[in-house]
Amino acid sequence: MTIQSGTAGDVSTVERHPGMEHPVTPFEFKSADSTIALLRDPYRFVSRRSAELGEAVFETRLLLRRTTCMTGAEAAGVFYDPARFQRAGAAPPPLQKTLFGQGGVQGLDGEHHRQRKAMFLQINHPDRVEALADVVTREWERAVADWAAPDQVDLYPEVQRLLTRAVCEWAGVPLSEAEVDLRTRQLTALFDAAGDVGLGHLRSRAARRAAERWAADLIEQIRSGQLAVPSSSAASVIANHQEPDGRPMAPRVAAVELLNVLRPTVATAVYIIFVAHALEANPAWRERLAQGDGAEDMAFIEEVRRTYPFFPAVTAIVHEAFQWRGHDFPEGRRVLLDLYGTNRDPRAWEDPERFDPERFLGDDRDPFAFVPQGGGDPAVHHRCPGEPISTRLMGIALDQLVRHLTYTPVRPAAPIDYRRLPALPKGGYRIQNISPRH
């Protein structure tokens, strides 16, 4: 979702990671162009190239621009050092015009980032997350009653729809029943088609423009008093937020930030499909959770986030030139941190390809080894402030699928399509024989 469609390859100078079997030597990777390789395997491109080279960091080209690629917990710790890296100008323009929007928190640094991040932490306060959980639970119950009638349903678009209803109600965004399908399509296109090329990308850009107009109009209605919303709602907090200069955000920028609440919540549908896929692929764990009291639910959820592909990578720009382990990071260099590969790095995870939720039953966790939605402290670093919402909504889905719903997958768990952004089971995830469990 956050990797760019670009060009990789050409001359690479690399630094061997401590513990790898060969001594430190320069390495020249000769490839005229690796665009096709990147597009074919966006989630595993960096980690596989790293394994080929025996390196945790290497240089290449993306969009004809020299780029340093990094993977692993130690690299993540360096990447999230705000003294070394900035986010302004890091995201490729195609993603700014689809996934992120322009002027949003993802591209800010310094005091602007701190204050904008504090706004999102207020929106995602634990009490507010629980309020959203209540609405989402109600929407699940409503959806399950509707799903009992058809022979089968495709779970991915159905979950997108129920999450759109729920997050709009919770965020203070009016949404009539006639609008549900339109807004679901728009919010989904911001993340589900952002990494496409051709028509898919154009549809995502059109959805971004339409959604920003809709959200900006809502912001202006709130500011003018035409629309009354709860003061604790995301729409109200964003509409009334003041920048470091004491002024409110421009309506278009406020619209981007409101969509930065709505879009990621709907995008949790991807993780929910992975929860369903993991339950089917690990029937012993499904039975264990069904018989349990919920105490192990979060461990299962975290292992889903570790092993399944969500964000491929994140980008930053070197703020001030430095060296790390003999490797030069010149000012202005774009750097790509491999999230998917870091979550499966054998230096940090024992038998990383094995699905084992028990590894999360303890409290000891390296914030830079487990980075499904970014690393470090969300109050300080560019770690997703909506992460508690993702895990809470995954927990609701897990509870519904295991304890409140009976169903049969239409076909056995399909392999994950790693060429798709976001990755999903090939052919979708359809279920049948659906009924509430009493």
Is cis: bond before 422, omega within 30 of 0? yes
Q: How many CA atoms lie within 13 A of 168 on its CB side?
A: 23
> For the domain 15-436, what is the CATH superfamily, name and number?
Cytochrome P450 (1.10.630.10)
d(CA 330, CA 339): 22
Q: Are 71 and 50 in contact (CB under 8 A)?
A: yes
Q: Are 425 and 277 in contact (CB under 8 A)?
A: yes
Amino acid 385: pLDDT: 66
Q: How many CA atoms lie within 13 A of 340 on its CB side?
A: 22
Task: Name 357's Cβ contacts closer than 8 Å, sequence gap at least 6.
Answer: 285, 296, 299, 300, 302, 303
Amino acid 90: pLDDT: 78
In whole angstroms, how far apart are CA 88 and each of 107, 113, 304, 331?
A: 5, 10, 31, 13
Amino acid 384: pLDDT: 65
Q: How far is CA 6 from the centre of its chain?
A: 20
d(CA 188, CA 210): 13
d(CA 23, CA 32): 27
65-71 and 334-338 as β-strands: parallel, antiparallel, unpaired? parallel
Amino acid 35: pLDDT: 67
Amino acid 3: pLDDT: 35
Say how many C-beta atoms besides its own lie within 10 A of residue 273's C-beta.
23
Say how many C-beta atoms besides its own lie within 10 A of residue 289's C-beta.
23
- Contacts within 8 Å (CB) and 24+ apart, 101-104: 101/208, 101/212, 101/255, 101/256, 101/259, 101/260, 102/256, 103/249, 103/250, 103/252, 103/253, 103/256, 104/253, 104/256, 104/257, 104/260
Alpha-helix residue ranges (DSSP H) falling in 80-174: 93-95, 110-123, 126-147, 155-171
| Model pLDDT for residues 299-322, shown as the tens digit of each residue | 999 999 999 999 899 999 999 999
Amino acid 376: pLDDT: 67
Amino acid 399: pLDDT: 97
Amino acid 66: pLDDT: 87
Amino acid 33: pLDDT: 60
At how many degrees (to 10) do helices 110-123 and 251-281 cross?
Answer: 60
Q: Are 191 and 263 in contact (CB under 8 A)?
A: yes
Amino acid 172: pLDDT: 98
Q: Are 98 and 192 in contact (CB under 8 A)?
A: no
Q: Are 109 and 88 in contact (CB under 8 A)?
A: yes
- Contacts within 8 Å (CB) and 24+ apart, 296-299: 296/357, 296/361, 297/395, 297/398, 297/399, 298/360, 298/391, 298/395, 299/357, 299/358, 299/359, 299/360, 299/361
Task: Name 152's Cβ contacts closer than 8 Å, sequence gap at least 6.
Answer: 410, 430, 431, 432, 434
Q: Where are the domains of the chain?
A: 15-436
d(CA 78, CA 348): 16
Cα of first residue to Cα of last residue in the chain, in angstroms, is 38
Amino acid 366: pLDDT: 82
- Best CA proximity match to 191, nearest among 3, 6, 395, 341: 3
d(CA 389, CA 387): 5
Residues (pLDDT < 70) of the chain are 1-35, 363, 376-385, 438
| Model pLDDT for residues 179-209, shown as the tens digit of each residue | 999 999 999 999 998 777 778 888 999 999 9
